[in-house]
Amino acid sequence: MSDQHRETNENDIQTGSLFAESVSRRQFLKLAALAGATLGVGGGLASLVGGCGTEEAASTTTAPADGVTTTLGATTTVSSGPSAPAVIKIGNLTDFAIPPLVNSRKALEAVVEGINSDGGWDVGGQNYTLELISYDTKSDPNTARSAVERLISQDKVNVIFGDMTASNWASETEAAKVLALVGTPLTDVYKPEYKYTYVTSKLPTEAAARLGYLPTYIGKPINKYVLIFPDDPPGQNQMKDVVGTLTALGANFESVTFAASTTDFSAVATKALSINGDCVIIGGSPVMFGQMYRALAAAGSKAFVTITAEVSLGELNTLIPITELDGTVVGLMSWDTATPNPVCQEVVDYYAKKYGKWDDPSFDIDIFYSFKAALFAAGALDNDKMAEALGGGLEFDGPHGKSKMIPRADAGVADRTVCLIMEYSDATLMGGEATNYKTIPLDQVESYVLTAWAARKP
């Protein structure tokens, strides 16, 4: 490895392609989902602390006549307005065992219930209520494909919200002309012939946007990043993503890895300190983050720490008191500020109404509001018209603020817009509060993302 991208590795392991080559696709999708839910890549600080047991849905559960739904773990939320002349049926594929994804499902249920109690949506003069049908994919491609087949043939859904298994079943939704809005960082879901498949989550864009903007946010260049990651598969996957992004952005970095079984981080901190970096990125589980952060502070590190994903301040504070995190740069959603944007305020209100309070969970809900924007832009519950809106550069205000669809020329789709970008916001923790809150303008997000994608193009 060059001096610019040098790795200090206590355990003599290799990263990058080793991960993809040493696990099955099912394991990869599961680990990718877990990695995406931890500190290095995005979404949900409490993901590895909250356990991995299957959680029963808080919504109404319908018992199946056969064994398919029980096997897939399906739950249905049905909330009808007074007249309910028409229903939009939403299929939701997720993993019921990953806490941030459980949170996302709970949030979806709350928003659907809240919208219906408010009278539903009026689209082109037609009133609609919403029905949410969720299936547990277990991050398994075959389970997900079976769920999609059921959603299409039996549940007759209008749209499917999908996860990282999407590339394994997108051909089914395309053949049925069912809109599929999915959350995945993988590029194999983009195909020129696909007309109804769109990526509408932050997974492909967040790290590039945050790392690209970071020098602007702090007001000075970052001469060297120090990456500290565990050597287990999720940690390798996280580090591979960060390394790829920093390489694409032309940044200088070195990395330190440690055994996932490490409990005393003092030696790791000493080695990281010897690199003399300006900025530290800590990967691994939230527990590892807290222990590593404290070890760095005890070693006298002057570098600032950043988390390349949004955090929930409430969840973060349960893992390590945020009063200890002075100077840490984090990504925040608007609902963690004193003045949430209208979409975030709506989500908070619906969530609190259903569950009794807003407990500041980590979750993503951009897919839902992308569907809403496409529906209203189309002016009708018509998948061809909604696909035309999504593929034609749809712009709207979502949970993250300004959002729009852009092409993925790097992945072979240059003639229409198939991936969502959105504004992101950063803050600095100081005295137990989030300070210096700044939003990354959408044009800058697009520039950072396109730079990262172009550098990774085969």
What is the reported pLDDT for 204?
A: 93
- The Cα–Cα gap between 80 and 86 comes to 10
What are phi and psi for residue 137, nearest 5 degrees? -80, -15
What is the reported pLDDT for 303?
A: 96
- H/E stretch holding 435 reads strand 433-440
Best-predicted range by mean pLDDT among 10-14, 63-67, 334-338?
Answer: 334-338
User: What are the beta bridge partners of residue 8?
Assistant: 256
What is the reported pLDDT for 316?
A: 87
Mean pLDDT of the 252-276 span: 96
For residue 370, pLDDT beyond 80:
yes
- The percent of residues above 90 in pLDDT, for the chain, comes to 70
What is the reported pLDDT for 109?
A: 98
- The percent of residues above 70 in pLDDT, for the chain, comes to 81
**pLDDT digit string, tens, across residues 223-234:** 999 999 999 888
Give the model's confidence band at 27: pLDDT under 50 very low, under 70 low, under 90 confident, else very high.
low
For residue 261, pLDDT beyond 60:
yes
> Picking from 201-205, 232-236, 450-454, which range would have the lowest pLDDT averaged per residue?
232-236
Best-predicted range by mean pLDDT among 12-21, 63-72, 233-242?
Answer: 233-242
The structure tokens listed for 58 are: 């808080």
- For CA atoms 418, 421, 422, 426, the dihedral sign is positive
For residue 93, pLDDT beyond 50:
yes
What is the reported pLDDT for 81?
A: 38
For residue 30, pLDDT beyond 60:
no
Classify strands 253-258 and 5-9 as parallel, antiparallel or unpaired.
parallel
What is the reported pLDDT for 288?
A: 85
What is the reported pLDDT for 157?
A: 98
Mean pLDDT of the 183-201 span: 96
Mean pLDDT of the 399-411 span: 97
pTM for this prediction: 0.84
What is the reported pLDDT for 59?
A: 35
DSSP labels, 137-153? -TT-HHHHHHHHHHHHH
What is the reported pLDDT for 26?
A: 55
What is the reported pLDDT for 388?
A: 98
- H/E stretch holding 405 reads strand 401-406
- The Cα–Cα gap between 371 and 165 comes to 19
Mean pLDDT of the 186-206 span: 96
- The Cα–Cα gap between 30 and 234 comes to 9
What is the reported pLDDT for 85?
A: 60
What is the reported pLDDT for 41?
A: 36
- The Cα–Cα gap between 367 and 151 comes to 18
Cβ-contact 284, 236 below 8 angstroms:
no
For residue 82, pLDDT beyond 50:
no
What is the reported pLDDT for 146?
A: 97
Q: How does the average pLDDT of the chain come out, rounded?
A: 85
For residue 285, pLDDT beyond 80:
no
What are phi and psi for residue 432, nearest 5 degrees? 80, 10
Classify strands 395-398 and 401-406 as parallel, antiparallel or unpaired.
antiparallel
Instruction: For each of the domains in the chain, give its residue range(s) and CATH number, in order of start.
Output: 5-23+205-338+426-456 (3.40.50.2300), 45-201+341-397 (3.40.50.2300)
Q: What three-state secondary structure class fits 253?
A: strand
What is the reported pLDDT for 458?
A: 59
What is the reported pLDDT for 57?
A: 34
Position 238, amino acid: Q
**pLDDT digit string, tens, across residues 314-365:** 888 888 899 999 999 999 999 999 999 999 999 999 999 999 999 998 899 9
Burial (CB count <10 Å: 0-12, 13-18, 19+), residue 219: exposed
